[in-house]
Amino acid sequence: MTEVLFVLLMTAMACGLLGPFLVLRRLSMTADALSHSVLLGIVLAFFLVRSLDSVLLTLGAALFGLLTVLAVELLSGKGLVKRDDALGLVFPMFFSLGVLLITRFFRNVHLDIEIVLMGDPLFAPFVRLFGLPRSLVEMFLLFLLNLSFVILFYEPLKISTFDPSYAFLLGIPVKRIFYALMILCSFCCVTAFNSVGAILVISFFAAPAAAASLLSRSLWQMILLTLLLGALNCLIGCLIAFRWNVSISGMCSFVGMLSVLLLSLFSRGGILRGMRRRKQQRERFKEELLLLHLYRHRGDREETGFESLFRHVNWSRRETERYIGRLMKMKWVFADPCDKIYQLTEEGRERLLLAMTA
């Protein structure tokens, strides 16, 4: 169990370094396309070497990942189709060709499509290198590669991510950085095939970074939070999967989705806080509207009377009484029992003046 957890953690770390840039560039679905289209590169490379342990499989996958990006950019850049449509055209074609080649020529070879997609981290410890799970060693090396890339090109990555036009004017090679990012994503996808599968790789790219974007105020904070949340998702998902005897990859993906959902609801800029803020704004607007009405029609028994006010503000009697009660508690309005009207206090006039000059 410990080695399986370490493989998951290292995969999450390697993907988490690139995930924030994919999310900020709105390329999460490109990672999905890469994770599927690289299968054709693996199959074609296997035609040449006839070995599942050859490094050419990784190179072939990275090449077809790059070809996928080039094809999508070519179609969308020419204005022939939109980017999402280009993704929907290119990666199903590459993936289906890979599936057809496997089912036609390699039925007896261990190129299992289900394992490629879903993965099974439980098998990772059985293939070892230097006394450690091979997947752990490979993902650690890829983590170092991704870390070096992010550290060395942090400023160009940041500028080209947030403002590509400004980066181009500064002389930053925007296209080269973009393609380098896509190649590293391809490496992550194919390296993780044997351990966690394509579906969990997509989750590792997108879910922690999307959750971190809801909490962070800067890019480096987002990267650190992505690594932290990715590790936390792996730990929780792995423990629950072992406890309930379910798919580890599926549970880790589900926990990642759940973390994004919870943060979307309860974070500083989340849905619930947004609803609460809008409700407070509506209530404050109605309070100020009622103060303005009482000020403009001060002394008018018809406009500000106990029994007629609700008709002139076009509210229900219950709603009008509720807001009048709130204003009276705040000592902004008082009831004149002699004239049977509502009037502003001195504090109410000051509050109205402040609202009108804000």
Residue pLDDT, tens place only, 213-228: 999 989 999 999 999 9
pLDDT of residue 112: 56
Cβ neighbours, 10 Å, residue 138: 22
Cα separations (Å) of 127 from 51, 317, 323?
15, 75, 70
Nearest Cα neighbor of 345 from 356, 355, 331, 357 is 331
pLDDT digits (tens, 9 = 90+) for 28-53: 888 878 877 888 888 888 888 877 67
pLDDT digits (tens, 9 = 90+) for 255-277: 999 999 999 998 888 889 889 99
User: pTM of this prediction?
Assistant: 0.82
Q: Which residues contact 211 (CB under 8 A, 6 or more apart)?
A: 225, 226, 229, 256, 259, 260, 263
Nearest to 259 by CA among 244, 270, 273, 274: 270
Residue tagged 């949340």 (tokens):
229
Beta bridge partners of 342: 335
The tens digit of pLDDT for each residue in 111-160 reads 555 555 566 677 777 878 888 988 899 899 999 999 999 999 999 999 99
Query: Rounded CA gap, 66 and 186, in Å?
Result: 8
The answer to whether 144 touches 13, Cβ cutoff 8 Å, is: no
Mean pLDDT across the stretch 155-170? Answer: 94
The residues near 107 (Cβ < 8 Å, ≥ 6 apart) are none
CB 21 within 8 A of CB 184: no
Domains of the chain, by residue range, sit at 2-228, 274-357
H helix or E strand, kind and range, residue 122: none
The CATH number of 274-357 is 1.10.10.10
Tokens describing residue 104: 């036609």
In contact, 94 and 64? CB cutoff 8 Å:
yes
- CA distance linking residue 292 with residue 290, whole number of Å: 5
**2-228: in CATH 1.10.3720.10:** no
Burial of 128 (0-12, 13-18, 19+ CB in 10 A): middle
